[in-house]
Amino acid sequence: MFARSALYLYQLRKNLRLESAELAEINRKKLRAMIKHAYENVPFYHRKFSSVGIKPDDIKSISDLSKVPVTTKYEIQSSSFDDIVASNVGVNGCTARATSGSLGIPLSVFFDEETLDFEAAVWNRAYLENGLRLTDKMAIIRLPRFFPKGRRWYETLGISRRKYISVFDDPERQLELLEDFKPDVIKGYSSSLAILSDFCRKRASFSKPRLVFTGSESMDDRNRKLISSVFEAEPLDYYGCIEFSLLAWECREHMGYHMNTDSVMMEFVENQEEVSPGERGEIVCTSLVNHAMPLIRYRLEDVGIPVEEQCSCGRTLPLLKKVEGRMDDFLIAMDGRVISGQIFSPFPFENWEKEGIRQFRVIQERRDKLTIQLAVNDSSYFDALVLENARRRLQQLFGEDMIVEFQILEKIDRDSSGKLRTTVSKVPFHWKNH
Ligand SMILES: [Zn+2]
Protein backbone atom coordinates (compact mmCIF):
# COMPACT_ATOMS: atom_id res chain seq x y z
CA MET A 1 0.00 0.00 0.00
CA PHE A 2 1.45 3.29 -1.16
CA ALA A 3 0.40 5.40 1.88
CA ARG A 4 1.74 2.91 4.42
CA SER A 5 5.06 2.65 2.61
CA ALA A 6 5.31 6.46 2.50
CA LEU A 7 4.76 6.61 6.26
CA TYR A 8 7.46 3.98 6.83
CA LEU A 9 9.79 5.98 4.61
CA TYR A 10 9.19 9.11 6.68
CA GLN A 11 9.99 7.23 9.92
CA LEU A 12 13.03 5.50 8.43
CA ARG A 13 14.55 8.76 7.19
CA LYS A 14 14.04 10.28 10.66
CA ASN A 15 15.96 7.34 12.16
CA LEU A 16 19.08 8.40 10.23
CA ARG A 17 19.43 11.49 12.39
CA LEU A 18 18.75 9.89 15.77
CA GLU A 19 21.53 9.46 18.31
CA SER A 20 22.93 5.90 18.09
CA ALA A 21 21.61 5.06 21.60
CA GLU A 22 18.12 6.28 20.72
CA LEU A 23 18.02 4.17 17.55
CA ALA A 24 19.39 1.15 19.44
CA GLU A 25 16.52 1.46 21.93
CA ILE A 26 13.93 1.47 19.13
CA ASN A 27 15.60 -1.59 17.60
CA ARG A 28 15.77 -3.36 20.96
CA LYS A 29 12.01 -2.99 21.39
CA LYS A 30 11.38 -4.31 17.88
CA LEU A 31 13.66 -7.27 18.59
CA ARG A 32 11.85 -8.15 21.83
CA ALA A 33 8.50 -8.02 20.06
CA MET A 34 9.79 -10.25 17.25
CA ILE A 35 11.24 -12.81 19.66
CA LYS A 36 7.95 -12.99 21.60
CA HIS A 37 5.97 -13.31 18.35
CA ALA A 38 8.23 -16.10 17.03
CA TYR A 39 8.09 -18.02 20.31
CA GLU A 40 4.32 -17.83 20.50
CA ASN A 41 3.40 -18.34 16.85
CA VAL A 42 6.17 -20.20 15.03
CA PRO A 43 6.55 -23.86 16.09
CA PHE A 44 10.09 -24.03 14.63
CA TYR A 45 11.29 -21.21 16.91
CA HIS A 46 9.26 -22.38 19.91
CA ARG A 47 11.19 -25.65 19.73
CA LYS A 48 14.52 -23.95 19.06
CA PHE A 49 14.16 -21.67 22.09
CA SER A 50 12.93 -24.52 24.29
CA SER A 51 15.85 -26.74 23.21
CA VAL A 52 18.22 -24.41 25.08
CA GLY A 53 15.76 -23.46 27.83
CA ILE A 54 15.12 -19.88 26.65
CA LYS A 55 11.91 -17.91 27.17
CA PRO A 56 11.26 -14.60 25.36
CA ASP A 57 11.99 -12.67 28.57
CA ASP A 58 15.55 -14.00 28.52
CA ILE A 59 16.23 -11.89 25.41
CA LYS A 60 16.10 -8.38 26.81
CA SER A 61 18.87 -6.79 24.77
CA ILE A 62 20.66 -7.22 21.49
CA SER A 63 23.61 -8.83 23.26
CA ASP A 64 21.25 -11.49 24.71
CA LEU A 65 20.46 -12.57 21.17
CA SER A 66 23.57 -14.76 21.11
CA LYS A 67 21.81 -17.13 23.56
CA VAL A 68 19.59 -18.26 20.66
CA PRO A 69 21.10 -21.01 18.48
CA VAL A 70 21.66 -20.01 14.85
CA THR A 71 19.22 -21.03 12.09
CA THR A 72 20.65 -22.61 8.94
CA LYS A 73 19.27 -22.53 5.42
CA TYR A 74 19.05 -26.29 5.55
CA GLU A 75 16.80 -26.20 8.65
CA ILE A 76 14.39 -23.82 6.92
CA GLN A 77 14.45 -25.85 3.71
CA SER A 78 13.64 -29.08 5.50
CA SER A 79 10.74 -27.61 7.51
CA SER A 80 7.09 -27.56 6.47
CA PHE A 81 5.37 -24.21 5.93
CA ASP A 82 3.20 -24.86 9.00
CA ASP A 83 6.37 -25.11 11.03
CA ILE A 84 8.07 -21.92 9.89
CA VAL A 85 5.24 -19.56 8.90
CA ALA A 86 3.58 -17.78 11.83
CA SER A 87 0.25 -19.45 12.69
CA ASN A 88 -1.45 -16.08 13.31
CA VAL A 89 -0.45 -14.85 9.81
CA GLY A 90 -0.57 -17.92 7.52
CA VAL A 91 0.60 -18.18 3.93
CA ASN A 92 -2.64 -16.83 2.41
CA GLY A 93 -2.08 -13.26 1.32
CA CYS A 94 1.68 -13.63 1.65
CA THR A 95 4.19 -13.30 -1.17
CA ALA A 96 6.74 -16.09 -1.55
CA ARG A 97 10.23 -15.54 -2.91
CA ALA A 98 12.67 -18.29 -3.76
CA THR A 99 16.36 -18.10 -3.06
CA SER A 100 19.13 -20.62 -3.53
CA GLY A 101 19.41 -22.75 -0.44
CA SER A 102 22.09 -25.25 0.42
CA LEU A 103 22.79 -28.16 -1.95
CA GLY A 104 21.26 -26.12 -4.77
CA ILE A 105 17.69 -26.71 -3.51
CA PRO A 106 15.62 -23.52 -3.58
CA LEU A 107 14.31 -22.11 -0.34
CA SER A 108 11.05 -20.14 -0.10
CA VAL A 109 10.62 -17.14 2.15
CA PHE A 110 7.16 -15.68 2.82
CA PHE A 111 6.49 -11.97 3.28
CA ASP A 112 3.32 -10.28 4.53
CA GLU A 113 2.04 -7.07 2.94
CA GLU A 114 3.35 -4.83 5.73
CA THR A 115 6.83 -6.27 5.36
CA LEU A 116 6.80 -5.68 1.60
CA ASP A 117 5.79 -2.05 2.17
CA PHE A 118 8.49 -1.66 4.80
CA GLU A 119 11.10 -3.19 2.48
CA ALA A 120 10.10 -0.83 -0.32
CA ALA A 121 10.56 2.07 2.12
CA VAL A 122 13.99 0.75 3.17
CA TRP A 123 15.10 0.68 -0.47
CA ASN A 124 13.62 4.10 -1.17
CA ARG A 125 15.39 5.59 1.86
CA ALA A 126 18.75 4.45 0.51
CA TYR A 127 17.94 5.65 -3.02
CA LEU A 128 16.66 9.07 -1.94
CA GLU A 129 19.57 9.62 0.45
CA ASN A 130 21.88 8.97 -2.49
CA GLY A 131 20.26 11.55 -4.71
CA LEU A 132 17.42 9.75 -6.50
CA ARG A 133 14.52 12.03 -7.42
CA LEU A 134 10.92 10.86 -7.68
CA THR A 135 10.77 11.93 -11.32
CA ASP A 136 13.94 10.03 -12.28
CA LYS A 137 13.80 7.27 -14.85
CA MET A 138 15.65 4.18 -13.62
CA ALA A 139 16.89 1.34 -15.83
CA ILE A 140 17.35 -1.88 -13.87
CA ILE A 141 19.48 -4.66 -15.33
CA ARG A 142 18.55 -7.90 -13.57
CA LEU A 143 17.31 -11.47 -13.89
CA PRO A 144 14.18 -11.65 -16.06
CA ARG A 145 12.38 -13.73 -13.42
CA PHE A 146 12.45 -10.67 -11.13
CA PHE A 147 10.82 -8.36 -13.68
CA PRO A 148 7.53 -7.09 -12.20
CA LYS A 149 4.36 -7.66 -14.17
CA GLY A 150 2.86 -4.48 -15.59
CA ARG A 151 3.46 -0.89 -14.65
CA ARG A 152 2.51 0.82 -11.39
CA TRP A 153 -0.20 3.47 -11.60
CA TYR A 154 2.15 6.28 -10.57
CA GLU A 155 4.53 5.56 -13.46
CA THR A 156 1.94 6.97 -15.84
CA LEU A 157 2.21 10.24 -13.86
CA GLY A 158 5.95 10.34 -14.52
CA ILE A 159 6.87 9.15 -11.01
CA SER A 160 9.39 6.37 -10.36
CA ARG A 161 9.49 5.22 -13.97
CA ARG A 162 11.35 1.93 -14.38
CA LYS A 163 12.67 -0.04 -17.35
CA TYR A 164 13.83 -3.63 -16.83
CA ILE A 165 16.62 -5.07 -18.95
CA SER A 166 17.82 -8.69 -18.85
CA VAL A 167 21.22 -9.37 -17.35
CA PHE A 168 21.56 -12.12 -19.98
CA ASP A 169 21.27 -9.70 -22.93
CA ASP A 170 24.60 -8.89 -24.57
CA PRO A 171 25.98 -5.39 -23.92
CA GLU A 172 25.09 -4.22 -27.44
CA ARG A 173 21.40 -4.98 -26.86
CA GLN A 174 21.51 -3.52 -23.34
CA LEU A 175 22.99 -0.28 -24.69
CA GLU A 176 20.36 -0.12 -27.42
CA LEU A 177 17.59 -0.35 -24.80
CA LEU A 178 19.32 2.21 -22.58
CA GLU A 179 19.74 4.66 -25.46
CA ASP A 180 16.06 4.29 -26.18
CA PHE A 181 14.98 4.86 -22.54
CA LYS A 182 17.65 7.46 -21.61
CA PRO A 183 17.65 6.72 -17.88
CA ASP A 184 18.71 9.15 -15.17
CA VAL A 185 19.76 6.17 -13.06
CA ILE A 186 21.15 2.76 -13.98
CA LYS A 187 21.09 -0.09 -11.50
CA GLY A 188 22.61 -3.53 -12.02
CA TYR A 189 25.07 -6.19 -10.95
CA SER A 190 28.58 -4.79 -10.73
CA SER A 191 30.00 -7.39 -13.15
CA SER A 192 27.25 -6.69 -15.67
CA LEU A 193 27.76 -2.91 -15.51
CA ALA A 194 31.52 -3.40 -15.81
CA ILE A 195 31.05 -5.43 -19.01
CA LEU A 196 28.62 -2.81 -20.31
CA SER A 197 31.11 -0.03 -19.43
CA ASP A 198 33.83 -1.85 -21.30
CA PHE A 199 31.57 -2.02 -24.34
CA CYS A 200 30.46 1.63 -24.03
CA ARG A 201 33.93 3.08 -23.92
CA LYS A 202 34.54 1.98 -27.50
CA ARG A 203 31.50 4.02 -28.55
CA ALA A 204 31.88 7.63 -29.63
CA SER A 205 28.96 8.79 -27.56
CA PHE A 206 26.09 7.44 -25.47
CA SER A 207 23.81 9.07 -22.95
CA LYS A 208 25.18 8.95 -19.45
CA PRO A 209 23.06 8.46 -16.32
CA ARG A 210 23.34 10.86 -13.39
CA LEU A 211 23.53 8.00 -10.87
CA VAL A 212 24.79 4.42 -10.98
CA PHE A 213 23.68 1.90 -8.36
CA THR A 214 25.29 -1.53 -8.13
CA GLY A 215 24.60 -4.62 -6.05
CA SER A 216 24.18 -8.40 -5.78
CA GLU A 217 27.88 -9.11 -6.15
CA SER A 218 31.06 -8.08 -4.36
CA MET A 219 32.30 -4.85 -5.88
CA ASP A 220 36.02 -4.82 -6.64
CA ASP A 221 38.22 -1.79 -7.27
CA ARG A 222 38.75 -2.59 -10.92
CA ASN A 223 35.03 -2.70 -11.70
CA ARG A 224 34.41 0.40 -9.60
CA LYS A 225 37.04 2.41 -11.51
CA LEU A 226 35.88 1.16 -14.88
CA ILE A 227 32.20 1.95 -14.25
CA SER A 228 32.89 5.40 -12.79
CA SER A 229 35.25 6.44 -15.59
CA VAL A 230 32.91 5.36 -18.40
CA PHE A 231 29.62 6.58 -16.92
CA GLU A 232 31.23 9.58 -15.19
CA ALA A 233 29.22 8.72 -12.07
CA GLU A 234 30.63 7.04 -8.98
CA PRO A 235 28.87 3.71 -8.39
CA LEU A 236 27.02 3.43 -5.09
CA ASP A 237 26.90 -0.17 -4.00
CA TYR A 238 24.01 -1.92 -2.25
CA TYR A 239 24.17 -5.14 -0.25
CA GLY A 240 20.99 -7.17 -0.07
CA CYS A 241 19.56 -10.66 -0.25
CA ILE A 242 16.22 -12.33 -0.92
CA GLU A 243 15.57 -13.24 2.71
CA PHE A 244 16.03 -9.76 4.20
CA SER A 245 15.97 -7.48 1.15
CA LEU A 246 18.32 -4.48 1.54
CA LEU A 247 20.80 -5.05 4.34
CA ALA A 248 23.33 -2.24 3.89
CA TRP A 249 24.21 0.55 1.45
CA GLU A 250 27.02 2.90 0.57
CA CYS A 251 26.65 6.65 0.81
CA ARG A 252 28.81 9.10 -1.11
CA GLU A 253 31.47 9.11 1.59
CA HIS A 254 32.36 5.48 0.69
CA MET A 255 33.46 4.72 4.25
CA GLY A 256 31.62 1.41 4.16
CA TYR A 257 27.98 0.33 4.02
CA HIS A 258 25.32 1.72 6.35
CA MET A 259 23.56 -1.23 7.94
CA ASN A 260 19.76 -0.97 8.12
CA THR A 261 19.69 -1.93 11.79
CA ASP A 262 16.13 -0.63 12.05
CA SER A 263 15.11 -3.42 9.66
CA VAL A 264 17.58 -6.27 10.25
CA MET A 265 20.01 -6.97 13.11
CA MET A 266 23.33 -8.09 11.72
CA GLU A 267 25.86 -10.02 13.79
CA PHE A 268 29.37 -10.97 12.69
CA VAL A 269 30.35 -14.27 14.18
CA GLU A 270 33.30 -16.60 14.30
CA ASN A 271 33.44 -19.69 16.48
CA GLN A 272 30.04 -18.72 17.89
CA GLU A 273 31.37 -15.42 19.19
CA GLU A 274 30.92 -11.88 17.92
CA VAL A 275 34.13 -10.75 16.20
CA SER A 276 35.85 -7.48 17.15
CA PRO A 277 35.43 -4.44 14.88
CA GLY A 278 37.75 -4.74 11.89
CA GLU A 279 37.70 -8.55 11.95
CA ARG A 280 36.11 -10.88 9.44
CA GLY A 281 32.98 -12.69 10.61
CA GLU A 282 30.16 -14.78 9.22
CA ILE A 283 27.02 -12.68 8.83
CA VAL A 284 24.06 -13.79 10.97
CA CYS A 285 20.80 -11.86 10.51
CA THR A 286 17.58 -11.34 12.44
CA SER A 287 14.61 -9.65 10.79
CA LEU A 288 12.85 -7.04 12.94
CA VAL A 289 10.08 -6.73 10.40
CA ASN A 290 8.88 -9.95 8.77
CA HIS A 291 6.19 -11.35 11.04
CA ALA A 292 4.93 -13.81 8.42
CA MET A 293 8.12 -15.86 8.52
CA PRO A 294 10.47 -14.70 11.26
CA LEU A 295 14.13 -15.48 10.65
CA ILE A 296 16.15 -15.24 13.83
CA ARG A 297 19.94 -15.57 13.86
CA TYR A 298 19.84 -16.86 10.29
CA ARG A 299 23.18 -17.81 8.74
CA LEU A 300 23.33 -15.96 5.47
CA GLU A 301 26.55 -17.80 4.45
CA ASP A 302 28.20 -14.46 3.67
CA VAL A 303 31.28 -13.02 5.30
CA GLY A 304 31.81 -9.36 6.20
CA ILE A 305 33.82 -6.95 8.35
CA PRO A 306 32.05 -4.57 10.77
CA VAL A 307 33.76 -1.35 11.92
CA GLU A 308 33.29 0.97 14.87
CA GLU A 309 33.79 4.32 13.12
CA GLN A 310 30.85 6.58 12.43
CA CYS A 311 30.44 7.70 8.84
CA SER A 312 31.47 11.28 8.10
CA CYS A 313 28.11 11.85 6.38
CA GLY A 314 26.50 12.12 9.83
CA ARG A 315 23.99 9.29 9.35
CA THR A 316 24.05 7.22 12.52
CA LEU A 317 23.37 3.80 11.02
CA PRO A 318 26.50 1.74 11.84
CA LEU A 319 28.99 0.74 9.19
CA LEU A 320 29.93 -2.55 7.64
CA LYS A 321 33.40 -2.07 6.15
CA LYS A 322 32.90 -4.55 3.39
CA VAL A 323 31.26 -7.77 2.38
CA GLU A 324 33.93 -10.23 1.47
CA GLY A 325 31.54 -12.54 -0.31
CA ARG A 326 29.88 -15.84 0.12
CA MET A 327 31.42 -18.65 2.11
CA ASP A 328 32.21 -20.44 -1.15
CA ASP A 329 34.00 -17.34 -2.47
CA PHE A 330 36.85 -18.26 -0.15
CA LEU A 331 39.75 -20.42 -1.15
CA ILE A 332 42.05 -22.50 1.00
CA ALA A 333 45.83 -22.47 0.69
CA MET A 334 47.87 -25.66 1.02
CA ASP A 335 48.71 -24.78 4.65
CA GLY A 336 45.04 -24.16 5.54
CA ARG A 337 45.02 -20.35 5.35
CA VAL A 338 41.66 -18.95 4.21
CA ILE A 339 42.06 -16.60 1.25
CA SER A 340 39.35 -14.16 0.21
CA GLY A 341 38.37 -14.10 -3.47
CA GLN A 342 38.79 -10.33 -3.30
CA ILE A 343 42.57 -10.58 -3.72
CA PHE A 344 42.04 -11.22 -7.43
CA SER A 345 42.02 -8.72 -10.27
CA PRO A 346 44.52 -7.72 -11.35
CA PHE A 347 46.33 -10.33 -9.17
CA PRO A 348 47.72 -12.84 -10.22
CA PHE A 349 48.27 -10.77 -13.38
CA GLU A 350 49.84 -7.33 -13.61
CA ASN A 351 47.71 -5.36 -15.95
CA TRP A 352 44.60 -6.83 -17.57
CA GLU A 353 44.41 -4.13 -20.23
CA LYS A 354 47.93 -4.70 -21.43
CA GLU A 355 47.67 -8.45 -21.11
CA GLY A 356 44.42 -8.54 -23.11
CA ILE A 357 42.31 -10.15 -20.35
CA ARG A 358 38.57 -9.43 -20.37
CA GLN A 359 37.19 -11.83 -17.77
CA PHE A 360 38.57 -14.03 -15.07
CA ARG A 361 37.36 -16.80 -12.77
CA VAL A 362 39.20 -19.03 -10.34
CA ILE A 363 37.79 -22.41 -9.36
CA GLN A 364 39.23 -24.46 -6.53
CA GLU A 365 38.45 -27.92 -7.87
CA ARG A 366 40.25 -29.78 -5.11
CA ARG A 367 42.24 -28.80 -2.08
CA ASP A 368 45.41 -28.90 -4.21
CA LYS A 369 44.15 -27.62 -7.55
CA LEU A 370 43.13 -24.20 -8.89
CA THR A 371 41.65 -23.78 -12.35
CA ILE A 372 41.94 -20.29 -13.75
CA GLN A 373 39.46 -19.47 -16.51
CA LEU A 374 40.31 -16.52 -18.73
CA ALA A 375 38.42 -14.79 -21.50
CA VAL A 376 41.01 -12.95 -23.56
CA ASN A 377 40.88 -10.53 -26.47
CA ASP A 378 42.87 -12.68 -28.85
CA SER A 379 43.87 -16.17 -27.80
CA SER A 380 46.30 -16.60 -30.71
CA TYR A 381 48.45 -13.74 -29.41
CA PHE A 382 48.10 -14.58 -25.74
CA ASP A 383 51.51 -14.62 -24.13
CA ALA A 384 52.59 -17.88 -22.43
CA LEU A 385 54.95 -15.91 -20.21
CA VAL A 386 52.00 -14.02 -18.72
CA LEU A 387 50.51 -17.36 -17.61
CA GLU A 388 53.80 -18.59 -16.25
CA ASN A 389 54.20 -15.46 -14.12
CA ALA A 390 50.62 -15.77 -12.89
CA ARG A 391 51.20 -19.43 -11.97
CA ARG A 392 54.31 -18.47 -10.01
CA ARG A 393 52.48 -15.75 -8.06
CA LEU A 394 49.59 -18.10 -7.24
CA GLN A 395 51.96 -20.77 -5.99
CA GLN A 396 53.79 -18.25 -3.85
CA LEU A 397 50.50 -17.40 -2.17
CA PHE A 398 48.77 -20.80 -2.08
CA GLY A 399 51.83 -23.04 -1.68
CA GLU A 400 54.35 -24.52 -4.09
CA ASP A 401 52.38 -27.80 -4.33
CA MET A 402 49.20 -26.12 -5.55
CA ILE A 403 48.44 -27.31 -9.10
CA VAL A 404 47.45 -24.35 -11.28
CA GLU A 405 45.69 -24.94 -14.60
CA PHE A 406 44.59 -22.32 -17.12
CA GLN A 407 41.59 -22.47 -19.44
CA ILE A 408 41.42 -19.87 -22.20
CA LEU A 409 37.79 -19.26 -23.16
CA GLU A 410 35.80 -17.05 -25.53
CA LYS A 411 33.56 -15.85 -22.74
CA ILE A 412 32.77 -16.71 -19.12
CA ASP A 413 29.07 -17.30 -18.64
CA ARG A 414 26.89 -16.20 -15.77
CA ASP A 415 25.41 -18.89 -13.55
CA SER A 416 21.63 -19.41 -13.38
CA SER A 417 21.32 -16.75 -10.66
CA GLY A 418 22.61 -14.23 -13.22
CA LYS A 419 25.76 -13.64 -11.19
CA LEU A 420 29.24 -13.75 -12.58
CA ARG A 421 31.23 -15.15 -9.74
CA THR A 422 34.97 -14.69 -9.93
CA THR A 423 35.72 -17.24 -7.22
CA VAL A 424 34.13 -20.67 -6.91
CA SER A 425 35.20 -23.21 -4.33
CA LYS A 426 34.22 -26.84 -4.63
CA VAL A 427 36.15 -27.72 -1.49
CA PRO A 428 33.84 -28.20 1.51
CA PHE A 429 34.69 -25.41 3.88
CA HIS A 430 33.33 -24.80 7.34
CA TRP A 431 34.16 -21.42 8.72
CA LYS A 432 34.28 -22.69 12.28
CA ASN A 433 37.13 -25.05 11.43
CA HIS A 434 39.48 -22.19 10.70
ZN1 LIG B 1 27.60 7.70 5.29
First to last CA, the chain: 47
* Residues around ligand 1, an ion, CB closer than 5 A: 251, 253, 311, 313, 315
Of 114, 162, 107, 171, nearest to 138 by C-alpha is: 162
Centre of ligand 1 from the C-alpha of residue 294, in Å: 29
Centre of ligand 1 from the C-alpha of residue 333, in Å: 36
Centre of ligand 1 from the C-alpha of residue 238, in Å: 13
The arithmetic mean of pLDDT across residues 137-157, rounded, is: 83
Identify the residue with better confidence: 344 or 288.
Answer: 288
Query: Which range, 88-92, 157-161, 287-291, is most confident?
Result: 287-291
Q: Which pLDDT does position 145 carry in this prediction?
A: 78
Centre of ligand 1 from the C-alpha of residue 395, in Å: 39
Of 35, 36, 31, 67, nearest to 51 by C-alpha is: 67
Centre of ligand 1 from the C-alpha of residue 323, in Å: 16
Identify the residue with better confidence: 284 or 347.
Answer: 284
Centre of ligand 1 from the C-alpha of residue 329, in Å: 27
pLDDT per residue over 38-84, tens digit each? 999 999 999 999 999 999 999 998 889 999 999 998 899 889 999 99
pLDDT per residue over 395-423, tens digit each? 999 999 999 999 998 888 877 666 777 88
Report the C-alpha gap between 360 and 423 in whole angstroms: 9
The arithmetic mean of pLDDT across residues 256-282, rounded, is: 93
Centre of ligand 1 from the C-alpha of residue 253, in Å: 6
Report the C-alpha gap between 152 and 184 in whole angstroms: 19
Centre of ligand 1 from the C-alpha of residue 257, in Å: 7
Percent of the chain exceeding pLDDT 90 equals: 61
Centre of ligand 1 from the C-alpha of residue 129, in Å: 10
Centre of ligand 1 from the C-alpha of residue 10, in Å: 19
Centre of ligand 1 from the C-alpha of residue 254, in Å: 7
Q: Which pLDDT does position 423 carry in this prediction?
A: 85
Report the C-alpha gap between 101 and 85 in whole angstroms: 17
Query: Which range, 42-46, 76-80, 200-204, 241-245, is most confident?
Result: 42-46
Centre of ligand 1 from the C-alpha of residue 248, in Å: 11
Confidence of residue 310 (pLDDT cuts 50, 70, 90): very high
Centre of ligand 1 from the C-alpha of residue 143, in Å: 29
Q: Which pLDDT does position 129 carry in this prediction?
A: 97
Centre of ligand 1 from the C-alpha of residue 33, in Å: 29
Q: Which pLDDT does position 247 carry in this prediction?
A: 97
Q: Which pLDDT does position 432 carry in this prediction?
A: 42
Q: Which pLDDT does position 102 carry in this prediction?
A: 55
Centre of ligand 1 from the C-alpha of residue 310, in Å: 8
Q: Give the 3-state secondary structure of residue 434.
A: coil
Domains defined for the chain, CATH in brackets: 333-433 (3.30.300)
Residue 430 has pLDDT above 90, yes or no: no
Confidence of residue 429 (pLDDT cuts 50, 70, 90): low
Residue 351 has pLDDT above 90, yes or no: no
Q: Which pLDDT does position 126 carry in this prediction?
A: 97
Q: Which pLDDT does position 24 carry in this prediction?
A: 94
Mean pLDDT of the chain: 89
Centre of ligand 1 from the C-alpha of residue 104, in Å: 36
Report the C-alpha gap between 40 and 31 in whole angstroms: 14
Q: What is the DSSP string of 235-246?
A: EEEEEEETTTEE
Centre of ligand 1 from the C-alpha of residue 347, in Å: 30
Centre of ligand 1 from the C-alpha of residue 5, in Å: 23
